[in-house]
Amino acid sequence: MSPLLKLSLDQVLIGLQSKAFSATELTQSYLDQIQRTRGHNAYITVTTERALQDAKRSDARWSNGTAGPLEGIPIAVKDAYCTQNILTTAASKMLHNFIPPYESHVTQNLAQAGAVLLGKTNLDEFCMGSTTTPVHTGPTLNPWDVSCTAGGSSGGSAAAIANGSALLALGTDTGGSVRQPAAFCGVVGVKPSYGRCSRWGVVAFASSLDTPGPFARSVKDAALLLNVMAGYDKKDATSLNHPVPDFTRRIGQSLVGKKIGIPKEWFENAQMDPEILDLWKKGQELFEKNGCEIVHVSLPYSSYALPCYYILACAEAASNLQRYDGVKYGFRAKNIENLEDMYCQTRGQGFGPEVKRRILLGTYVLSHGYYDAYYNKAQKVRHMIQHDFRQVFQQVDVLLPPTTPTPAFALKASVSDPVAMYWNDVLTVPVNVGNVCAISVPAGLSNTGLPLGLQLIAPSLAEDRLFQFGHIIESNTSMPDLPF
Amino acid sequence: MGYFMSETPAINPIITMQRLARLHLTPEESISLGQDLAKVLSWVGQLEGVCVRGMPESQQPAMALRQDSVTEGDQVSLVLGNAPCPKDSFFTVPKVLKS
């Protein structure tokens, strides 16, 4: 294995600048590592030729003094981002042959910054799930223990960071799909503020919740990646036209006198594993030692975030996924009788079981006679949850819950009861419904050696607090090296 | 088969839902997904007890408006590049009217 794989982002940038090694050598090292770790099934598509072309151009830009902020940095991209002329499947049979004619805004930003695209990573079909076990492309294995889930839906990107087959990676977070796999794979994952990063060119799941987010080995690397991802995009009507700060600017600043909120309802309701409760307690002690005050706060309606989320996300998914009808792109069923049959058979054969489950629920909650009782009610509850967060952030700087209620669980233990499976998202979903931002930082190991994550939550547009506080967890935790 | 948007779900809603969603299910899927739907609906039903008096009915993220105009036109081959069965400059679908 190449020693280049062990270098941090800072070290790589210094090495490239000083010509200690070339972007081509670095890229080839990562492409070799992808092949060595194929068994984890982190990637759906490896873009070898494109990566080497990108790297060659990066070497030229390092030589002629026009290098961008991520020049020559090998990056993996969740296969939910449209990449021009590169297969983009969303891990679905429905898009098994889809070659986008355009590039997503975020991946375009990365390309302009000089990043090298290594490939497209595995995910739960259409980002729906918490285990990265799509029927079409198979499960991603957790590099720490291949019998365990990598988490999801961005499990391929999290696993690619953990197994050393990417230095940085992109995910999307609709209800925890960056933070939960980051926690399970022992890496850093960020759910930025909604609208901070453009959704243009990202395969839509639940449009009012979908948020592009970064994965990295360290808090600082994640901040540097978000610096490039973020920014206004007129093609996304919900993109925030708000200045993008340098997200690293507060890293290393003192936390003396800052207030850390502990949501009491989450402690009572989340049915957490004792190991996670212990981790949470140690996290509180860590911040106290660094001069922070622990404040127990109440978010009374956040207990309803999970059912609220599943109503709203499924309603939006049912609407968004109507476009997959076999007419304009993607899969079309054969041996069909008429137009209606083509729609029904295409969708019946093209979607996997979890996508079907969510389309059916979404259709139900939007249907005549049930719209008010479910969809409208959930919208109102969402207002109340957001009000809870606004109130709490008048008292504290950040909230500190764990990221997940349990460590990564065995792949074969993935339960068939959907409600039981949805409970995995109980600590991450309130962030999306509450319109705030959050980070998951590795903070310890379970008794069986699996990584555990602590989450920090800040108000919308206060991501720099996440990196400031997250750095404290990182620098006060002795995590083992990633498993590669 | 016509449009069903005004239909109210039946006691066992799975049949109506799969028609509304234009989603063919096998008999086995109808049973298992019907059971799942019932479980999830029962679970999300806990919102019924939440008092939401005074809350606005709907919420949309703040959205910027832009001119409703063509920005990138005349790209037929690109647009049809992923179509399952394109013909000339058109998408095609099975015949709706029988000859």
CB-based contact A189:A213 (threshold 8 Å): yes
Distances in Å between the alpha carbon of A333 and those of A190, A266, A339, A389? 38, 45, 11, 46
CB-based contact A185:A174 (threshold 8 Å): no
Residue B63 has pLDDT above 80, yes or no: no
What integer pLDDT is reported at residue B3 of this predicted model?
30
Give residue A367's pLDDT band: very low, low, confident or very high (50, 70, 90): very high
DSSP chain B: ----TTPPP-SSTHHHHHHHTT----HHHHHHHHHHHHHHHHHHGGGGG---TT--S-----------S-SS---HHHHHTT-SS-BTTB-----SS--
Strand ranges (DSSP E) for A156-201?
168-172, 188-191
Mean pLDDT rounded to a whole number for chain B: 84
What CA–CA distance (Å, rounded) separates B44 from A269? 16
Judging by beta carbons within 10 Å of its beta carbon (0-12, 13-18, 19+), is residue A370 exposed, middle or buried? middle
What CA–CA distance (Å, rounded) separates A197 from A73? 20
Strand order in the sheet with A168-172: A43-46, A116-121, A74-78, A168-172, A212-216, A188-191, A437-445, A451-458, A398-399, A259-263, A293-297
Which of B39, B52, B57 has the CB atom closest to A417's CB atom? B39
- Determine contact: B68 vs chain A, CB below 8 A: no
Provide the chain B residues 21-50 that lie in CB contact (below 8 A) with chain A.
21-26, 29, 33, 36-37, 39-41, 43-44, 46-48, 50
What CA–CA distance (Å, rounded) separates A257 from A275? 28
Q: Give residue-wise pLDDT tens across range A343-364.
A: 999 999 999 999 999 999 999 9
Q: Give residue-wise pLDDT tens across range A195-248.
A: 999 999 999 999 999 999 999 999 999 999 999 999 999 999 999 999 999 999
- DSSP for residue A321: G
Give residue B12's pLDDT band: very low, low, confident or very high (50, 70, 90): low
Work out the average pLDDT over A281-297. Answer: 98
Q: Which of A178, A194, A157 is nearest to A79 (CA)?
A: A157
Q: For the whole model, what pTM was predicted?
A: 0.96
Which of A329, A370, A377 has the CB atom closest to B83's CB atom? A329
Q: Quick one: CATH architecture of A6-229?
A: Alpha-Beta Complex (3.90)
What CA–CA distance (Å, rounded) separates A117 from A52? 9
- In sequence order, the β-bridge partners of residue A263 are A297
- In sequence order, the β-bridge partners of residue B87 are B90
What integer pLDDT is reported at residue B65 of this predicted model?
81
The residue in chain B having the minimum alpha-carbon distance to the alpha carbon of residue A102 is B78
Token output for B71: 């920005």
Angle at A151 between CA A285 and CA A109, to 5 degrees: 95
CB-based contact A373:B48 (threshold 8 Å): yes
Q: Do B91 and A376 touch (CB under 8 A)?
A: no
Q: Number of Cβ pairs closer than 8 Å across A and B?
A: 170
Question: A307 to chain B: which residues are within 8 Å by CB?
Answer: 43-44, 46-47
CA-based nearest distance B81→chain A, Å: 8
Mean pLDDT rounded to a whole number for chain A: 97
Q: Do A328 and B83 touch (CB under 8 A)?
A: yes
**Phi, psi at A77, each rounded to 5°:** -125, 130
Cβ contacts of residue A341 below 8 Å, gap of 6+?
Answer: B94
B interface mutation test: which of A380, A419, A436 has the most B CBs within 10 A?
A380
Q: Which of A81, A152, A101, A127 is nearest to A411 (CA)?
A: A152
CB-based contact A112:A132 (threshold 8 Å): no
Q: Give residue-wise pLDDT tens across range A442-464.
A: 999 999 999 999 999 999 999 99
CB-based contact A230:A196 (threshold 8 Å): yes
- Determine contact: B82 vs chain A, CB below 8 A: yes
Cβ contacts of residue B45 below 8 Å, gap of 6+?
Answer: none
Q: Which residue has the higher pLDDT, B34 or B9?
A: B34
Work out the average pLDDT over A388-395. Answer: 98
Q: Give residue-wise pLDDT tens across range B15-50.
A: 999 999 999 999 999 999 999 999 999 999 999 999
- List chain A domain ranges: 6-229
CB-based contact A99:A355 (threshold 8 Å): no
Phi-psi region of B38 (alpha: psi -120 to 50; beta: other; left: phi over 0): alpha
Token output for A340: 């209606």
Cβ contacts of residue A441 below 8 Å, gap of 6+?
Answer: A188, A219, A453, A454, A455, A456, A470, A473, A474, A477
Cβ contacts of residue A380 below 8 Å, gap of 6+?
Answer: B52, B55, B56, B57
Residue B10 has pLDDT above 60, yes or no: no
What integer pLDDT is reported at residue B25 of this predicted model?
97
Task: For each of the domains in chain B, give its residue range(s) and CATH number, in order of start.
Answer: 11-49 (1.10.20)
Residue A266 has pLDDT above 50, yes or no: yes
Q: Give residue-wise pLDDT tens across range A146-191.
A: 999 999 999 999 999 999 999 999 999 999 999 999 999 999 999 9
Q: Do B78 and A359 touch (CB under 8 A)?
A: no
CB-based contact A329:A225 (threshold 8 Å): no
Give residue B67's pLDDT band: very low, low, confident or very high (50, 70, 90): confident
